[in-house]
Amino acid sequence: MISDRLAAAGAIALPVADVELEPYDLDPAQVVSGEPRVAMAQLSPGRGVWEITPGVVTDVEADEIFVVLTGRATIEVEGGETVDVGPGDVCLLAEGAKTTWTVHETLRKVYHSRS
């Protein structure tokens, strides 16, 4: 794990495009439409790189901040705001927020979560 390297070195830098992501399965109940696939690399507990391909999915969010590296999505919060995110955008998600993500272009983000 990258966090082991960090502990040994005190600091590391990685080209984010080169971070190898591991695919994992979405809960089929989260998929509203399309065939979205997700992958991630956990850099250390609560921090990592995450990617999702186009489609529509639901989620219950953690307390998270992320920066979009590539791609575009619309995030609709049940009973709240709808935000469009794209490269360079920083987004804050409130823990427990029920969201619907419409991913227009494969989205890759770097995130930090306190949950």
- d(C-alpha 45, C-alpha 3), whole Å: 8
Q: Does pTM surpass 0.95?
A: no
93, amino acid identity: L
- Res. 4: pLDDT tops 80: no
Q: Which CATH number fits domain 2-113: 2.50.20.10, 2.60.120.10, 3.40.50.10320, 3.30.230.10?
A: 2.60.120.10
- The domain ranges of the chain are 2-113
From the centroid of its chain, how far is CA 96?
16
What are the tens digits of pLDDT across the range 57-114? 999 999 999 999 999 999 999 999 999 999 999 999 999 999 999 999 999 999 999 8
Q: What is the pLDDT of residue 16?
A: 87
DSSP for 47-61, please give it: EEEEEE-SEEEEEE-
- In the prediction, which pLDDT does 106 show? 98
Distance CA 82, CA 5 (A): 38
pLDDT tens-digit map of 7-40: 677 887 888 888 899 999 999 999 999 999 999 9
